[in-house]
């Protein structure tokens, strides 16, 4: 066994927007307003980056700190875990297989993505290497499947807020990259309400000023 290298992939949250008052989605989320009222402002730091424009087949875009941090969020990721709301607005049992996500025929993931849901659905293979797997038996089962798919690469928890809170409460997230926007939402979905992250072993290990946001890295120390 000597010399054998054991690699444990990290579970991480990347590029997750947070307002100054701690909200990561606004109120009254809907099909037309999936991030809630005021929620899109959380992502304004991203919309000017070169990476965002490349994802939408557009030229140009800024190449500063915000862009660099956005790019890092896709490096070394072998699988994603998404809450059902992140996949789409459909509620209850799936009426059919017509809804295939918010992103068109080629989602931005390019690796297996595991969607938490209470209602079974066959795997959905998309262009570009993304296959959505629908997991009905909870966050631990989704993580186990994601680890098997990712191998030595990391697992990225894509959100939304409720999904990240569940994984935080279970102390399963190793690293969080939060993007603090200089704005107040006032209400909506609060990311850390009633969660004592310090007592749970998380510490701020890095903070970087970007062009339109402040990038904060939290890591679990124990």
- State the Cα–Cα distance between residues 187 and 37, nearest whole angstrom: 9
Q: What is the pLDDT of residues 10-22, one digit of tens each?
A: 999 999 999 999 9
- State the Cα–Cα distance between residues 46 and 188, nearest whole angstrom: 21
Under the banding of pLDDT at 50, 70 and 90, the label for residue 88 is confident
The mean per-residue pLDDT over the stretch 186-208 comes to: 96
Residue with the larger pLDDT of the pair 133 and 8: 133
In this structure, the dihedral spanned by the alpha carbons of residues 97, 99, 104 and 108, taken in order and rounded to 10 degrees, is -90
Residue 3, pLDDT score? 55
Q: What is the pLDDT of residues 59-76, one digit of tens each?
A: 999 999 999 999 999 999
DSSP 8-state code for residue 62: B
Under the banding of pLDDT at 50, 70 and 90, the label for residue 1 is very low
Mean pLDDT, the chain, whole residue set: 92
Q: What is the pLDDT of residues 147-169, one digit of tens each?
A: 999 999 999 999 899 999 999 99
Other beta carbons less than 10 A from residue 21's beta carbon: 12
Q: Contact, 166 vs 149, CB < 8 A?
A: no
Q: Domains in the chain, please, with CATH?
A: 35-72+174-222 (no CATH), 78-88+105-172 (3.40.430.10)
Helix, strand, coil % in the chain, rounded to nearest 5: 25, 25, 50
What per-residue string of b and e applies to 94-106 under the rule 16 or more CB within 10 Å gives b? beeeeeebeeeee
Other beta carbons less than 10 A from residue 194's beta carbon: 7
Of all residues in the chain, the percent with pLDDT exceeding 90 is 76
What per-residue string of b and e applies to 53-76 under the rule 16 or more CB within 10 Å gives b? bebeeeeebbeebbbebbeebbee
Q: Is the pLDDT of residue 97 over 60?
A: yes
Q: Is the pLDDT of residue 2 over 90?
A: no
Q: Is the pLDDT of residue 182 over 70?
A: yes
Residue 77, pLDDT score? 97
pTM, two decimals, is 0.92
């Amino acid at each position: 066994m000597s010399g054998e290298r054991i690699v444990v992939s990290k579970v991480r949250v990347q590029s997750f927007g947070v307002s100054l008052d701690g909200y990561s989605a606004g109120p009254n989320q809907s099909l037309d307003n999936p991030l809630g009222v005021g929620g899109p402002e959380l992502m304004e730091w991203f919309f000017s980056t070169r990476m965002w424009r490349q994802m939408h087949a557009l030229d140009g875009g800024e190449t500063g700190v915000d862009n660099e941090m956005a790019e890092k969020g896709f490096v070394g990721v072998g699988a994603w875990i998404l809450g059902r709301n992140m996949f789409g607005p459909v509620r209850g049992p799936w009426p059919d297989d017509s809804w295939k996500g918010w992103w068109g025929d080629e989602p931005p993931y390019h690796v297996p993505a595991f969607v938490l849901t209470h209602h079974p659905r066959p795997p959905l293979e998309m262009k570009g290497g993304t296959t959505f797997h629908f997991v009905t038996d909870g966050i631990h089962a989704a993580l186990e499947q994601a680890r098997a798919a990712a191998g030595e690469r990391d697992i990225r928890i894509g959100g939304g807020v409720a999904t990240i809170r569940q994984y935080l409460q279970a102390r399963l997230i190793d690293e969080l990259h939060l993007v603090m926007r200089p704005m107040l939402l006032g209400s909506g979905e609060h990311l850390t309400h009633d969660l004592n992250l310090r007592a749970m072993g998380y510490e701020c290990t890095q903070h970087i000023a970007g062009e339109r946001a402040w990038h904060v890295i939290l890591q679990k120390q124990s």
